[in-house]
Amino acid sequence: MAKKEKVKHVADMSTEEKIKEAARKVFTQKGYAATRTRDIAEEAGLNLALLNYYFRSKEKLFEIIMLEKMQKFFSVLLPVINNAATTLEGKVEAIASNYIVLLTTNPDLPLFILSEVRHNPEIFIKIAQNKTFLQDSFFVKQIHKKRPDCNPLQFLVSLLAMCVFPFVMKPVLQKMTDINEADFHKMMLARKTLIPVWTKAMLKAK
């Protein structure tokens, strides 16, 4: 976004949205514990009293931002696993492709969620209201049918790890190897094809 366009974009936003956009940036950079409401107010270009008028506490504002990020993270998963018309193989392909696209454009998302869930598990518990969406899904039923001896949770955790872990480890990979942004991007795009192949082998193995 060009500088003039960015300024116009900020000017057109409501005060509430300015605060939320600033909070997204500051919470992602610093985490919940190290963020002060004053930091968010300064990032938004507003005074602290105005921020407190719209959002009564740092915790309340963080819950809103965390909920947004959790919804974004799971938005590519939930419609897929509950689709009765898609095969298990089709679901795996869609999950792998969707997460690679999502995390390529939002590389800080998984690390932020993992870090904050670890330090603030009570917030995640408060946000995650639906506890049965996974076990009641068509995804789980299809795994049971294909491999009755396979734990669906084990399979899903492995699938998500293959999608998400490279993005979490990206800074380490770049330090330990000569991989640059362009090569990392190519590697992630290749995983759209590779992950379904690997998971297919997992379902066959006994």
pLDDT band of residue 128 (cuts 50, 70, 90) is: low
Phi and psi angles of residue 172, each rounded to the nearest 5 degrees, phi first: -70, -45
Provide the whole-model pTM: 0.79
Q: Measuring CA to CA, how many Å separate 179 from each of 92, 176, 187, 188?
A: 27, 9, 10, 12
Q: Measuring CA to CA, how many Å separate 193 from each of 26, 47, 189?
A: 35, 49, 8
**Would you say the C-alpha torsion 28, 32, 35, 39 has a positive or negative sign?**
positive
- The fold of 3-56 is Arc Repressor Mutant, subunit A (1.10.10)
pLDDT for 204: 84
pLDDT band of residue 8 (cuts 50, 70, 90) is: very low
Is residue 55 left, alpha or beta, with left meaning phi > 0 and alpha meaning psi from -120 to 50? beta
- Residue boundaries of the structural domains of the chain: 3-56, 66-204
Q: Which whole number is the average pLDDT over 35-49? A: 93
